[in-house]
Structure 1
Amino acid sequence: MTGQKVDKRVARTKTRLKEGLADLMTEKSIQEITVKELVAHVHINRSTFYLHYSDISNMLENVKQELIEEIAEVMETYPPEPFSEQSVLFMKDIFFSLGRNRKLYRSLMGENGDPAFVQEVEDLVGEKCLTGLKRQFPNEMNVLKYSYRFCLSGCVGLIRYWLQKDPEESETPEEMADIAFRFIMSVIRDTHPRVRR
């Protein structure tokens, strides 16, 4: 058996485990989920689970780290320049990442999710946006920081709402990025006349 076949099998196994974990997290908190329950849910042997993770908490930490790294990679692709055409492309890539991992994000941002993870993603994206704002509008940050925080919190709410919808009936990542960008720009333009596009 070639290494490529092994890698594909490992990837499929991990995907099943992640989706299973996301399913169970819609029903109960992470502390209530057991390895036995998870492997039964996805029809995988316990020994296979332990090839990849030491326990449920370890698995969740690995999953969160992978998601954070994917968001960080997207962010590295774009310069920190808010209110530019690059901003729309940046937001589209973020929504594509969210869409690819929809079940996991929905669970992590849901009732039984992990507020610390949500905060980490928010801080990661927010830091990039704030860096760009400080560079572009250094003398207006006393007021602009409130608009920025309002927009960031609004985007988190928008994402939560989108993730809860049936993928077949919800907007595409491109459509969501356009909606989010329009909302952000309407707030910024109304509160900061110097910002024009």
Structure 2
Amino acid sequence: MKKNSAVAAQTKQNLTDAFWDIYCNKRIEKITIKEVTVKAGYNRSTFYEYFTDVYDVLEQLEDTLISKLQELPVQQLSSTDSAFSFEALINVYVQHSKYLAVLLGDHGDPAFQAKTKRSMKPLMKEVLLKQGAKDDFELDYTLEYALSAMIGVLSYWFNQEHAPPLENLMELLGRLSTEGVMKNPDGR
């Protein structure tokens, strides 16, 4: 008998949530399938219907988050007043901050930052090429720099106890992307 797809989706989500609760406090190499199944209230055979191991749970979760970033329409990434609009990216980050703050944080998956950059770089490149950028090594390194900075700043922002309002952060990122780091805030 074929399982109800809604029940199957809920079971998979319950296992993922149980894994995530554990992953937030424990390194992945120390997490066992037994821990996940006990926390979720299922047996090992149910776990294996959806995942091969705990690394597979993490990879599927990361792939889902990456697909959300790739769904951003290029038009949302364009902005008339700057080379690149961070608002669409920040909104996705805020929506999925439960996962992204951890995965991109100090105790997260180091490979996830690279996956994130690989997925976003073509989107950003497309925007900049349409705005007249030259497709060369300088664009590639500029994108790497911008993505590394953006991911670092967003992770830092989410982990601050007294973080500035989101609007202030978006204004700062926009200003940094157009004026650079060395320009004084007062315009001199």
Q: For residue 50 of structure 1, what is the amino acid of its counterpart?
A: Y
Q: CA deviation at 1:73?
A: 0.8
Normalised to the residue count of structure 2, the TM-score between the two structures is 0.72
Q: CA deviation at 1:178?
A: 4.1
Show the counterpart of 1:14: 12
Unaligned runs of 5+ in 1: 191-197
Show the counterpart of 1:154: 149
Q: Using a 3 Å threshold, how does the CA distance of structure 1 residues 154 and 33 change in structure 2: closer, same or farther?
A: same
Show the counterpart of 1:92: 87
Which deviations, in whole Å up to 9, do the C-alpha atoms of 1:74-128 show, x marking residues without a partner?
1xx124975436943xx33322322232222223223342222211211221232
Matches for 1:34-73 after TM superposition, within 5 Å:
34-73=32-71
Q: Percent identity?
A: 23
Larger relative helix fraction: 1
Q: For residue 59 of structure 1, what is the amino acid of its counterpart?
A: V
Q: Is the 8 A contact 1:109 1:160 kept in 2?
A: yes
Answer 1 or 2: higher relative contact order, Cα 8 Å, separation at least 6.
1
Q: Is 1:187 aligned to 2:180, yes or no?
A: yes
More off after superposition, 16-25 vs 53-62: 16-25
Superposition RMSD in Å: 3.6
Secondary structure in 1 matching 2:26: coil
Q: How many residues align?
A: 180
Distance 1:102 1:73 in 2: 17
Q: CA deviation at 1:151?
A: 2.6
Matches for 1:66-145 after TM superposition, within 5 Å:
66-74=64-72, 77-79=73-75, 82-84=78-80, 87-88=84-85, 91-138=86-133
Normalised to the residue count of structure 1, the TM-score between the two structures is 0.69
Q: Using a 3 Å threshold, how does the CA distance of structure 1 residues 183 and 42 change in structure 2: closer, same or farther?
A: farther
